[in-house]
Every structure is written in C-alpha cells, then in structure tokens.
Structure 1
C-alpha cells in the first residue's frame, strides 16, 4: 500500500511540473539585462523587455537551447537591440527549436567587416528560431567569403512573420546578400514580410528551401545565382513605398522611416492577401518632417516644397559663412540619382530648386535630398530630408 501511494505522489508531482504556468521575466524590472533574464529562464518562459536601447553581450544574445519567447512590451519602433563591439545579435547554435521566439524588436548597428559566413542580426546555425514583428535595418558586413548583413540560416529552420528586412549592406569579395541567405539545406519560411532596399542584393538561397508567402521582395533576386528552391505563395509586387528609408548600412537607422505610404501594397486594402505586410504599417506625414544631422548653426536646410512633388521642388540652404556646398539626390539604397548643386555659396540663405521629367513606374517613391557643407573653419556637416514623389 505504501508503495502504491508513493508512486501515486510521484506521478502527481510530475504532472504538476508539466502543468506549471510559464514564468514572465521582466527587463529591466526583474533582471537588469536581457541576457541575465535568458540565463534564468526555463522552457516555455516569456522574457518581456521594456522600451529602450538594449545591448547584446559579446558575441551575441544566447538562448542556450531554451524554448523561450523574447518579446518587447511596446514594439520595434521603441525597442532597439544593438551589438557589443564586433558581435552579432542572435546566434542560434545550441539546439533551439521553432519554439524559440524573438518578437517585436528593431535589430541594427551590427558591423562585421571580417571573413565569415555571418548573418548579422540573426544567425541560425544548425538550430531553429521564429521571429515576428521585427525590423532588421542598418547592419553591415564584409569579407572574403559569402556574407550577409540581415539574416543568415545555415542548416536547421527559420520562420519569420510580419517583419521588415531593409537597408542592410553586405559588401564582400565572395557574395553580397544584404537581406537573407539560406545555406546548408535549411528550411526557411517568410510570411507577410518585406525584404527590400538591401545592398547589394536581397536574397540568396545557396542550398535548402525558401518559401515566401504574401511577401514583398525587391527585384534584386538573381535566379541564376539560386541553387536552392524558392517558392512564391501569393506574391505581392511593387515598391513598398517606405516613408523615409535610411541609406544602406546606416548604423543609426530609425525604424520609423520604414513605415509605409497610404498607397503601399503592404497595407491590407492594397494587396490580394488582405493582410498587413511588414512590421510597421502606414505612417507617412503629409509634409516632410525635418531630419537634420549636423550643426544647425553651420547649416540650415528648409523645405523641400511642394512635397510630395510631381515635377520638381524648391528648398533653402543657409550657411554661416562662405563654404563649399554639395546637394544631391539618392535613392533608398544610397545610389546617386542626380546632383542638384555643387559649388561655393556665400554666407546667408540661398533659394535653390530642382526639376525632373516626372516619376516613372519603376522609380522609387522616396528619395533623399542630402546636403554637404565643407568649410575651412567649420569642418564638414550634413543635413538630409526625404523627398516624396508622385
């Protein structure tokens, strides 16, 4: 009788452990850092992260094989992850599964310029992971062998939903895939994602499979370079019409610039899938908001107007003293579109303008107006504003 009771109690204890509710670990409420919370977590737990800038330890955040959900409280626009020195952000290599989840973060500012097949924001290396409602922007890599600045999957599996991978820059002597690469027979599925405006190219599937379901992918997929399989399900075509896209590899990229225009095919009413594609949704201002990076006492940039513009715009540049001034238009990938002005301006405010023949169907919806001022006594400073075309 005692033996039967003992076995019964052991069975009840096991069931109680299995049915125990998942713990919620707060950062910075319960733990100062994300890694401390991950180290204290168990399978099924949720780590909730408050808004702010959170820095990964070197070489990366480490789930340690746990099936844990890492989730932001307020979303990717206000919850930013950056690396420590030359590290990356997530390296999944310890048997993690698709139940290991990353939700609601912006991942930026990774800069790895050495040899190695690194996917800089997220590297899935023989394990698995699910990412949702994330923005991967403003990361860069380079080296002598294949590199990738956004997401790299080498074996294992990866799922991404409702996320945006944009303005990442990979420049190497091997291959340049700024957005996503798939190697080692990996199984990758992207649903409701935008992969666009990455330098030099968006996607490589070297081996394995990639399924794109209701996704917007930029046109830089060279089918002749794909040795794996790409399956398109309900593809959505067109420029995503980012409001204010940063240049490729901008380590201080603001995720808010990757909101989309009201005409974007990423919005539920503008695509046949009837869903929001990407992480952020609509949010372009009706007129351009200032975006100055530099000393306002040296350089002032106002306008452009009208904005949006169909055939040209005007703007004003103010300089503190005589200086060499360059003004140019760039597309969302940082490529020069046109030089507007290049010369010497006297101290004061100058009214300038630029005309074009009109926006073609292939042209991007947004351009950067960028101004450089170089003076012997002021050094160099810049300012930039977005120009919306219609």
Structure 2
C-alpha cells in the first residue's frame, strides 16, 4: 500500500529539485507525475529505503527521456551528473517557490487553484476534475494552459504572499465534492505554508479555516438542508479545531500586524466562543467588522457588518447600514429579508425571501430561503 500522504508531501520538493537541475516547470511537473505513477506501481512490492531519492532519480530519468525525444531540445545543456538530495532548507525554498509560481498573477483564479492542487498538493488531474465536477479532459487542458503560462517565469524577487493566500482560500471555499475534500486539502496546504514562512496573515488564514471547519458537521441537516449559525447544534462543533484555531490566531495577533484574514478569524472566534447564539458578543463582532472594512473596504464585509449591527443595535440600525450598500450585491436581498423580519415586517420579509431564493447561489441556500418565505406566509395566513 502506497502512502498517499507521503507522495503529496514529496511532490513539490521533487519538482523543486528538477527545477534546480535545469528543467522548466512544465517539464518538471510532468516528469514528477510520471514518477508518481511509477511509484504507485512499484512501491507496494518493492518499497524504497529513500522515497524522495527514488522519486528524484525516476523523475529525472523521465525528464531526460522526454527531452531527448524532443528534437528541438537536442542541443540543450543538461546537468546529468549526480546531485545529492537537498537539505531540508533547500526543500523549504523549493516548496515556497512552487506556492508563488502556482499563484502567479498571470493566471486566472481557476487555473491557479488547479495548478496549486496539482503541483503543491500532489493531487492527480482526475482527482481535481472530480472535486470540481468537470470532465478530466477539461481539467487537463486547464492545467496544461496554466503550466505553459508560468513555464518561463523566473524568480528574481519574493512572490506575493497575499496572492497565494487568496488561492488557498478559494480552494477552501469549494468545501467538499466528489472524492476529494478540498476544505481539508486547503487546511493541509496552509499548514504546510505556515511551517515554511512566518507571516501573520498565513497564520490568520489557517486560524480562519480551522474555525470555520470546526462547524462543518453542524451546517447541514440529514437531508442536506442548510442550518443557519444561530440554529446549529453547537455540541457538534469540533472543540479541538476551535482551540487550535484560537491559539494560532492569538499568536498572530500578538505580532500586532493586523490583516484581513486575522480580522475574519477574530470574528469566527467570537462566534465559536459563544455557548449559545444568544451569548454571541455582537458588539465586539461589529468592532472587528469595522477593522475588516477599514482594511479591505469590501462590499461583502459591509454586508456582513450590517447583519452584525442589526444584532448588536437592533434591526432598524442594521437596515440603515444596509441602505448604504448596492442592492445588487449577492445576498443583499436575503439580508434585507432577515432584518425586515427582525423589525416586525413579516409580509415584506416573506416577499424578499422569495425574491432572494430566485437568485440563490446554491440549491441548499435556495431551499432554505424558500422555506423561510413559506414559514412567514403560513403565519400571515393564520
């Protein structure tokens, strides 16, 4: 039985070794994928004493074979003499380099996510396609285009950590589908990044993921129906993940270099700290949303802040905050429906819930909003 987790961990390190030997990114990644296939075939009967060294040797041979078969590259200089397996410090640099390469600004978000999962995460094209519910051929084309885009990139200065974090956050927000748990994979990759770079926002994102993931089991009912935060069974929350997330966040905040992911994690921590919905410290949550808006000026942050204001200062105050925003914002109508219901206007709320359901981004959310409208309409008829 091959240790899949070990292969995933070694993948970026081996790609890095081939890159230092002269292979461009696309060729190195292809060669390593071929070596991984060979490992799955050979290792169960003949496990290597040095898995990383084995992968480097086989991947390098695959690269040389492919290069020699390409007549346009026959004159290319290749360093074929033996090279020792790099020390841990080199491996760290290689892996960091791959993070930045896969999150290169020239890539679309979808391509950056796919390439990160392939090169850094060690997932196969088939696994990534299953996770995103697209044909394998489609995902293969997306990854191939992404590799061509970054194949000539050379690193002369540090990459953009913020771009890497946004790619990882995109992976996390995909949640779970097919046979790959992308939320768990995003946490694994962010842990890996946090172990390689001391950066407050890396820790902030890791804390945010852990705190959100801790509530996963309580978010949906037996039939897949959406359960709002206030109605969740908090006994199903993972207290271990919550404690870890809070510890990671506190260490990041202690460095006094606040960023948007730390602010979001602080809001999630306040929700996690409340034993019941009624005990939620909404005043402090509003203060953290103020910080988040100051950092990002994000319309989504302002929308969520309006909900928090409605909880802290009353529905009228929440509606006043909402009125300052663009009504075409996603979920604006759903928030308006909720605040109108809290303000004692069930007929308006029912109409808005129905309207929001028509533009819901998911089936689960559409069904939830439809049920809210039906609940109020039933009450109005009674």
* TM more than 0.5: no
TM-score, with structure 1 as normaliser: 0.29
More strand by share: 1
TM-score, with structure 2 as normaliser: 0.30
